[in-house]
Amino acid sequence: MPALDGLRGLAAAIVLVSHLHLFTGDTDNLGRGGVLLFFALSGFLMAHLHLRQSINAVSVRRFCAARIARIVPLYYSVVILGYLSTQVLGLEAFSKYDMDTLQLARLLLFVGKVSVFWSVGPEFQFYGFFVLIWAITALSGVWRTYALVALGVFAVACYLASPTLPGILFVSKLQIFMVGIAAAMLRWWLAARYPLPGAGKVILQLAACAGILALVMPSTRMFLPLFPAASVAEHSRWYYADLPRVLLAGLAVLAFSYSTWASNQLLGNWLMRELGRVSFSIYLLHEPVIGLMRVTGFFEDLNPWVAAALCLTLSALVSSAVNRLFETPARIWLSRKLAAPRQLAAAPAIAG
């Protein structure tokens, strides 16, 4: 699914651009649209990669090892370096990663809310919840029915409470992950019953492009105001609870899971796939890059579009280097260490 790599890269790019504050007007939806795509992608990929596999101790251990290795090394490193750079070296001007020791502890426990780190917590928490969803596939008969009903009730309850729940907990964003899972299941159903022709895939992808534009367009209103205004007074709270926006993110993920000539040119090309490959590094490291460029006067007298392009380029280069020199080697090493079954040394035979 090459275009999904590119979609992840696009999500990272629009989050970065939203943090530049170089353009007039509201850019809040730009960044939140990127996070929405990240969460929907996560739900889709978890389902696509695992839900049709049997669940057992080995598969769960491999899943957990892969998820921990994917997130923890780079995330912990950036969080700790951010803490040291501001608390020890006094480099607050270079990043928004200023935090005290309590905030550091919360971030390391994946319940913090400093800068972009806030969204890593719900993502990581969801991995644990996904194992419970995966376990339902091992049930049969009435127990599976009961479990699915319980899951549905829990998901609806989380959605109804989402504007009042802490944004750093996955339950406040569960509807987004679940829409991603639903997109993966819909794709399986379509493949089995009604395979999409090439023209159908292109039409779906055109609709997805319009949906992505709707996600990031400046707007201070819900598309579907299901909650009283007082319950969703904060923009960041109602945005992620706006079902049409969540469904548009799911549509984008579903549409670009199909490979077409158009999707390969738009999102599946080498550049977009490379941005997708290093997207986690871009997401965690772009704030220090922006801070450095601001402090050095880089943005002065530059056209906003040129400045944004140069900042994205520099962030991508830094992230690519970090990905190759640290993130990927650490992920591979830790994944092997955690996934390898423990070998028990054979006890020597005792002579009778």
Q: What is the pLDDT of residue 95?
A: 65
Q: Are 82 and 95 in contact (CB under 8 A)?
A: yes
Mean pLDDT of 265-293: 90
- Phi and psi angles of residue 336, each rounded to the nearest 5 degrees, phi first: -65, -40
Encode the chain in three state secondary structure. CHHHHHHHHHHHHHHHHHCCCCCCCCCHHHHHHHHHHHHHHHHHHHHHHHCCCCCCHHHHHHHHHHHHHHHHHHHHHHHHHHHHHHHCCCCHHHCCCCCCHHHHHHHHCCCCCCHHHHHHHHHHHHHHHHHHHHHHCCCCHHHHHHHHHHHHHHHHHHHHHHHHCCCCCHHHCHHHHHHHHHHHHHHHHHHHHCCCCHHHHHHHHHHHHHHHHHHHCCCCCCCCCCCCHHHHCCHHHHHHHCHHHHHHHHHHHHHCCCCCHHHHHHCCCHHHHHHHHCHHHHHHHHHHHHHHHHHCCCCCCCCHHHHHHHHHHHHHHHHHHHHHHHHHHHHHHHHHHHHCCCCCCCCCCCCC
Exposed e or buried b for every residue in 30-41, given b needs 16+ CB within 10 A? bbbbbbbbbbbb
How many other C-beta atoms can be found within 10 angstroms of the C-beta atom of residue 162? 23
Q: What is the pLDDT of residue 107?
A: 94
Q: What is the pLDDT of residue 186?
A: 94
C-alpha to C-alpha distance for 21 and 28, rounded to whole angstroms: 10
Q: What is the pLDDT of residue 344?
A: 40
Q: What is the pLDDT of residue 347?
A: 40
Question: Is 28's pLDDT higher than 80?
Answer: no
Question: Is 352's pLDDT higher than 50?
Answer: no
Whether pTM exceeds 0.75: yes
pLDDT digits (tens, 9 = 90+) for 92-128: 656 678 888 999 999 999 998 888 899 999 999 999 9
Among residues 244, 246, 268, 257, the alpha carbon closest in space to that of 204 is found at 257
The fraction of the chain above a pLDDT of 90, given in percent, is: 57
101: Cα within 13 Å, side-chain hemisphere? 1
Q: Which two tokens stand for residue 248?
A: 């548009």
Q: For the chain, what is the mean pLDDT?
A: 87
Mean pLDDT of 12-20: 88
For the chain, how many residues are written? 352
Q: What is the pLDDT of residue 22?
A: 67
How many other C-beta atoms can be found within 10 angstroms of the C-beta atom of residue 171? 19
Residue 217 corresponds to which amino acid? M
- Average the pLDDT over each of 89-93, 101-105, 146-150, 306-310 and give the range with the smallest value: 89-93
Burial environment of residue 304 by CB neighbours within 10 A (0 to 12, 13 to 18, 19 or more) = middle
Residue written as token pair 């695992």: 50
Residue 328 corresponds to which amino acid? T
pLDDT digits (tens, 9 = 90+) for 177-208: 999 999 999 999 998 898 888 888 999 999 99
Q: Are 330 and 66 in contact (CB under 8 A)?
A: no
Q: What is the pLDDT of residue 345?
A: 42
